[in-house]
């Protein structure tokens, strides 16, 4: 189980190696993604809070990166954070997400897909126990790919 100290160590000292890499040109990403998905995932944008019905979906399932299909989260780790964005306590594997210090609004930790570098959102140390993590994700960066 990842902790806040693990996240900070990855952000400062380097991330785990992903199982694979996906790299595309800007034109290829633009052809694959809609405008909002592109703005969020490729330009580190943020969707409007409470704009996605995904915030209120808690049935079993698996969530993957909308850009490269890498499995990122299991719905069993999803919780209602009240923030307006889908929130999870842990990724499915430690190496599917990469972490970068983000000082654009104070100090935060940005989360990106380690396979394709898609901006997903941020992780914070104010989640539920036992990990205490809150992966605050942009819904447009995720797609539900399977039920359990």
Residues carrying an active site annotation? 136
Query: Shortest CA distance to 86 belongs to which of 35, 147, 135?
Result: 135
Q: How far apart (Å, rounded) are the C-alpha atoms in residues 9 and 102?
A: 14
Residue 121 burial (CB < 10 Å; 0-12/13-18/19+)? buried
């Amino acid at each position: 189980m990842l902790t806040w100290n693990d996240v900070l160590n990855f952000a400062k000292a380097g991330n785990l190696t992903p199982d694979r890499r996906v790299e595309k040109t800007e034109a290829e990403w633009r052809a694959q993604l809609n405008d909002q998905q592109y703005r969020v995932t490729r330009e580190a944008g943020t969707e409007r809070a409470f704009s996605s019905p995904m915030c209120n979906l808690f049935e079993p399932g698996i969530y993957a990166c909308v850009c490269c299909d890498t499995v990122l989260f299991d719905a069993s780790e999803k919780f209602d954070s009240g923030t307006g964005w889908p929130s999870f306590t842990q990724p499915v594997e430690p190496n599917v997400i990469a972490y970068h210090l983000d000082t654009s609004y104070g100090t935060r930790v940005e989360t990106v897909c380690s396979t394709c570098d898609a901006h997903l959102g941020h992780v914070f140390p104010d989640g539920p126990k036992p990990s205490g993590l809150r992966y605050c994700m942009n819904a447009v960066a995720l797609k539900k790919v399977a039920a359990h």
